[in-house]
């Protein structure tokens, strides 16, 4: 696409909302940044899908994506909420982690009733976060450090404060009358059907006196759903996407993508029967869980409507579309459908790992096998901690272990050994636990509207959203220099896990993540490799990742007991060193002993490679201690 074409497209784009006078340097909007021009010598690799078809690889297919909620990362203006200049201040820290990309939760204008997921403007930066100039500076600095920047796009709904909704509700005949999901009351004057809000479980319909109709919201009443059956809505969303892509972003995370479409006939959701099982991603105590999700969302029409967006994204080299598909009947199966073929999304994440029960090798293998089969053609993305789903430390009953840090260090190695991309939530690299309510956050301090409505039956999402603890010896852990009150309090127990305290400790959770992330960058098998399982008995999980000349063995002892593993079936085992995991490798016996929650990484070499490395006449040592 030429510069002239890009400018012409923007000139034709409908201007349905005013631009602020300080909305950034005009020149940046008249040209595509150098980072989105065709790349010579771009990172290139190939991979084989489940059908053994060789495909070209892209950076995002095995990327580690660091999710940042700006309001909880770093405050620079003293209002107690984080901002874009705060992320710029901490860019060197993010770079030190070794991640591939940054995903920012919404940074657009918003009344902030739902932490930015209630958008009231789409082509600007919200004052809470900074200015367009701040954003463009951040984007340039991220690219200069060799990372990518992904923006969170909220296209299922808007805020009630959005100019689109104000016009839509003003009459039944205005230009945007059909931009939202409107319906007449039922015969009894009540809601048109039984569709619930998935957040509250109550009816998702809200009566509007001005228009005399109900509008629908899958989430909060302040977040009316857009009508994706309206072609004008879809065209406007494409123009918004092009606007941000022209500014140089590297991808878009699509919030609640499986919610975009509803049944145009407004048919009831069927009630859940005994044979329907439990839906993924929703609390069983939520009244909405009593329905099968098939008419209010999770519609087949969505796939057709995503095609133009994929075609647009493919005009920009290396851009990724990442979808959130966590609330549905089967998260892995449904998320995989959103990446099937070449006219949907590039990646989608699922809720397969978001469970509280104890982690076992058998369960983990079953999950990996299910995801590999479902995603087949690629597109896998794993997620653990999240702004909606708590922290990694609340999962898998790991916090109940005698040595919880060892357990979660082991799980970090597992996550970075899986095929596909991984989203890492800010603070999970520190091993933070969820803030407790009311011990750490008093009920009157809750910010999450979902939490405020349902407490004490449900605690909501604030427990995983507390500010980052940078330096426990500074005021407010150096999150804010002079704010009188932070937007959420920092739990006292987080001070011991501050960045400053962990940085100087080689054995800290933070430095294990750093070590693994940087090591992973240099392992072709982890960057692009196929996966198979080593046939080992539980509690040992064995993965073999292979790409090119590298064949990497990844062993995990998912138990609190020492375990010995016979590796005589492998012709050559060369242990990896310096990863921070101790193990006892006996080369003569061809076995390794793993401590509780132990990890062992090793290259598997052919006999010829082993002879070249050691010499055919060299005697093997009786035993050696390996620190993977």
Contact between 137 and 207 (Cβ < 8 Å): no
Enumerate the active-site residues: 255, 315
Q: What is the CA radius of gyration of the chain?
A: 25
3-state secondary structure of 420: coil
Q: Where are the alpha helices (DSSP H) in 296-357?
A: 301-313, 331-337
Distance CA 366, CA 361 (A): 9
Give one word for 256, left, alpha or beta, with left for phi > 0 and alpha for psi -120 to 50: left
- Number of residues written out for the chain: 628
The token duo for 478 is 């150096």
Other C-beta atoms lying within 10 Å of the C-beta of residue 156: 23
Pairing relationship of beta strands 213-216 and 205-208 according to DSSP bridges: antiparallel
Of the candidates 240, 237, 194, 202, the one whose C-alpha atom is nearest the C-alpha of residue 221 is 202
CB count in 10 Å sphere of residue 83: 25
State both tokens at 115. 């932490």
Exposed, middle or buried: residue 86 (CB in 10 Å: 0-12, 13-18, 19+)? Answer: buried
For residue 229, the surrounding DSSP H or E stretch is none
Cα-based distances in Å from 63 to 420, 532, 609:
7, 20, 30
């Amino acid at each position: 696409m030429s510069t002239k074409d890009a400018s012409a497209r923007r000139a034709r784009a409908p201007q349905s909302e005013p631009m602020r006078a300080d909305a950034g340097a005009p020149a940046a909007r008249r040209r595509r940044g150098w980072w989105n021009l065709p790349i010579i010598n771009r990172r290139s690799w190939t991979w084989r899908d489940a059908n053994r078809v060789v495909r070209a690889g892209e950076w995002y297919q095995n990327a580690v994506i660091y999710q940042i909620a700006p309001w909880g990362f770093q405050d620079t203006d003293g209002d107690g909420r984080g901002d874009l200049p705060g992320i710029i201040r901490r860019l060197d820290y993010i770079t030190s982690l070794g991640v591939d990309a940054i995903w920012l939760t919404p940074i657009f204008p918003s009344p902030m009733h739902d932490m930015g997921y209630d958008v009231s403007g789409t082509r600007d930066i919200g004052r809470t976060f900074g200015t367009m100039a701040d954003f463009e500076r951040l984007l340039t600095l991220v690219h200069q450090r060799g990372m990518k920047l992904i923006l969170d796009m909220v296209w299922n709904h808007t805020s009630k404060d959005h100019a689109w909704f104000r016009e839509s509700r003003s009459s039944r005949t205005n230009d945007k009358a059909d931009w939202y999901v409107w319906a007449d009351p039922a015969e009894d004057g009540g809601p048109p059907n039984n569709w619930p809000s998935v957040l509250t479980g109550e009816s998702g319909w809200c009566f509007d006196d001005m228009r005399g109709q109900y509008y629908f919201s899958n989430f909060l009443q302040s977040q009316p759903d857009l009508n994706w059956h309206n072609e004008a809505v879809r065209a406007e969303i494409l123009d918004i996407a092009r606007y941000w892509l022209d500014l140089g972003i590297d991808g878009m995370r699509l919030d609640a993508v499986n919610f975009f479409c509803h049944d145009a006939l407004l048919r009831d959701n069927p009630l859940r029967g005994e044979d329907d099982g439990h839906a993924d991603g929703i609390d069983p105590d939520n009244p909405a869980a009593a329905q099968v999700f098939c008419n209010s969302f999770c519609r087949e029409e969505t796939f057709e409507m995503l095609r133009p967006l994929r075609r647009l994204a493919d005009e920009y080299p290396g851009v990724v579309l990442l979808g959130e598909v966590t609330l549905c009947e089967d998260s892995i199966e449904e998320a995989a459908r959103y990446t099937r073929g070449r006219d949907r999304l590039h990646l989608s994440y699922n809720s397969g790992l978001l469970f509280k029960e104890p982690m076992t090798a058998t369960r983990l293998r079953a999950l990996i096998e299910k995801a590999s089969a479902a995603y087949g053609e690629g597109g896998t993305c794993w997620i653990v901690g999240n702004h909606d789903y708590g922290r990694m430390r609340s999962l898998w009953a790991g916090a109940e272990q005698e040595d919880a840090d060892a357990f979660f260090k082991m799980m970090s190695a597992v996550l970075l050994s899986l095929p596909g991309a991984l989203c890492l939530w800010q603070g999970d690299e520190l091993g933070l636990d969820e803030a407790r309510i009311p011990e750490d956050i008093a009920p009157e301090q809750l910010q999450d509207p979902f939490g405020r409505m349902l407490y004490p039956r449900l605690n909501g999402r604030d427990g995983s959203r507390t500010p980052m603890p940078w330096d426990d010896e500074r005021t407010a852990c150096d999150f804010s220099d002079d704010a009188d009150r932070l937007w959420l309090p920092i739990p006292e127990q987080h001070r011991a896990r501050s960045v400053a305290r962990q940085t100087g400790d080689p054995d800290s959770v933070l430095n294990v993540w750093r070590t693994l992330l940087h090591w992973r960058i240099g392992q072709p098998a982890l960057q692009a490799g196929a996966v198979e399982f080593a046939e080992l008995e539980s509690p040992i999980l064995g993965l073999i990742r292979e790409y090119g000349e590298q064949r990497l063995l990844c062993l995990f002892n998912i138990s609190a007991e020492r375990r010995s593993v016979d590796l005589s079936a492998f012709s050559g085992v060369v242990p990896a060193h310096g990863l921070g995991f101790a193990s006892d490798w006996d080369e003569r016996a061809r076995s390794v002993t793993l401590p509780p929650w132990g990890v062992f990484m090793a290259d598997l070499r052919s006999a010829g490679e082993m002879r070249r490395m050691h010499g055919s006449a060299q005697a093997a040592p009786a035993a050696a201690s390996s620190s993977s």
